[in-house]
Amino acid sequence: MQNVVRYTNAPEGIPQGSWVQVGKPGIGTRLMSGKLRAAHAVTVRVPGETLSWPSGVEWFKGVIGQRKYLGPSIPPTPFKSPMPFQ
């Protein structure tokens, strides 16, 4: 199993074919993803065989930890506030 994170501006899951960043959310993965202004970070554990190293002119993205997610789409999880009154 591999931790991956997808930075996005919409609270969504991880659709099949999405670019993901290997690792956990943090400044390093955010910088390597190139999504500095993204509002959401979707983090999941996926089987390694569902990740593909980029090919063609995008091969260099693999060096910085980016992969294509080829597994089934992962639906968004509803946000649960840690505050009981919200």
Domain boundaries defined on the chain: 2-69
What is d(CA 22, CA 10) in angstroms, rounded to the nearest whole number?
A: 20
Confidence of residue 86 (pLDDT cuts 50, 70, 90): very low
Handedness of CA 23, 64, 47, 42 (dihedral sign): positive
Instruction: Examine the pLDDT at 10 and tell me if it is beyond 90.
Output: no
Q: What is the rounded average pLDDT of the residues 25-54?
A: 91
What whole-number distance in Å separates Cα of residue 73 and Cα of residue 75? 6
Predicted TM-score (pTM) of the model is: 0.81
* Alpha carbon distance 42, 74 (integer Å): 10
